[in-house]
Amino acid sequence: MASPSFAPESLSGRRIPLAEIDSVVCARLGPTRGLGNSQPACFNRQVAMYLAARVGRWSTKIIGRFYNGRDHSTVCHGIQRIEASRETDPELDALLADLKRRLGVINEDGALDANDIAAVSKITLAPEELAALAELVAVRVVDLLTSDPRRARDFRGAS
């Protein structure tokens, strides 16, 4: 028996296809595919790789294969460059927010959608906010377990 997923449905929802991520980046920045490491295709590709890994939740091996058979370490390097630049470059951060909005990851009002796991994991809460959130989660879990006996059985690990 497969173990139940404890992630909210929105987190375990559809994975954004690599082709869709690539087309959104191409429409906003320009081509992501070029010969060698020509600029700006290299930067555009790194942005697309970052989004594919962090938003689309694709593995570096699959992302590399999608981008003309690049090695997973090349993908890791691109992701790391975007992450490092993002912290010091507000324009890049705004660009990524715009691309996420175009992919449907961020709502029109700028609020994060639950699919952006990397961004959601960086949110810090005050102790009272954390306690309130924990209480909401506990109430939700109890509601789910009491509303469906099969879920309770799965949760306990019984067959």
Phi, psi of 61 (to 5 degrees): -65, -45
In a domain, 121, yes or no: no
| Residues 131, 32: Cα–Cα separation, whole Å | 44
For residues 92 and 132, state if they share a domain.
no
In a domain, 86, yes or no: yes
* Spatial contact of 10 and 24, defined as CB atoms under 8 Å apart: no
For residues 29 and 90, state if they share a domain.
yes
Q: Enter the DSSP assignment of 122.
A: T
pLDDT of amino acid 105: 77
Residue 34 belongs to domain spanning: 18-107
Quote the tokens at residue 112. Answer: 């994060």
| Number of domains observed in the structure of the chain | 2
pTM: 0.61
In a domain, 141, yes or no: yes
* Spatial contact of 145 and 155, defined as CB atoms under 8 Å apart: yes
| Residues 26, 11: Cα–Cα separation, whole Å | 26
In a domain, 72, yes or no: yes
For residues 24 and 81, state if they share a domain.
yes
Q: For residue 60, count other CB atoms closer than 10 A to its CB.
A: 20
Sequential pLDDT tens for the chain (159 residues): 343 433 333 344 568 899 999 999 999 999 988 766 777 889 999 999 999 999 999 999 999 999 988 999 999 999 999 999 988 999 999 999 999 988 887 655 555 544 444 444 445 667 887 788 788 888 888 877 787 766 666 555 544
pLDDT of amino acid 152: 60
For residues 89 and 39, state if they share a domain.
yes
pLDDT of amino acid 138: 85
In a domain, 112, yes or no: no
